[in-house]
Amino acid sequence: MKRLLGISAALLFVLASAAYAADRPHEGKITKIDQDARVMTIQGEKGDTWDLYWTETTKLKNELTFPELRVGDSVHFDYMEKDGRMYVTELRRTHKAG
């Protein structure tokens, strides 16, 4: 019985860790932005890139607007996947490009 509880606890920990990792926000720099298509490309620290789309429901922090975003800005974002695309749910600029 103790062994079963130990295995169950370990499995629960692994599943919770995976769920946390999937929900973690991401950070990176804007390398490309297309205001008309409502898409930006973000490059992370490890060289990974994401094409992120936004909609009228995307939340921007600190009274930021999409036209204010520039290539080189650092951002922190949350997203969701839908129909094979990544949609920004929340975005915050952490450093303005110089």
Q: Is residue 88 part of a domain?
A: yes
Q: Is there a contact between 66 and 41 (Cβ–Cβ < 8 Å)?
A: no
The domain that contains 30 carries what CATH number? 2.40.50.320
Structural domain of 47: 26-95
Cα separation, 31 vs 71, in Å, equals 5
* Per-residue buried b or exposed e for 7-33, using 16+ beta carbons within 10 Å of the residue's own CB: eeeeeeeeeeeeeeeeeeebebbbeeb
Average pLDDT in the chain = 84
pTM for the whole thing? 0.72
pLDDT at 65 over 60: yes
Q: Is residue 49 part of a domain?
A: yes
Q: Is residue 84 part of a domain?
A: yes
Instruction: Give residue-wise pLDDT tens across range 15-46.
Output: 444 444 455 559 999 999 999 999 999 999 88
The tally of domains found in the chain comes to 1
Average pLDDT over residues 73-89: 96
Higher pLDDT, 5 or 98: 98
pLDDT at 82 over 50: yes
Q: Is residue 46 part of a domain?
A: yes
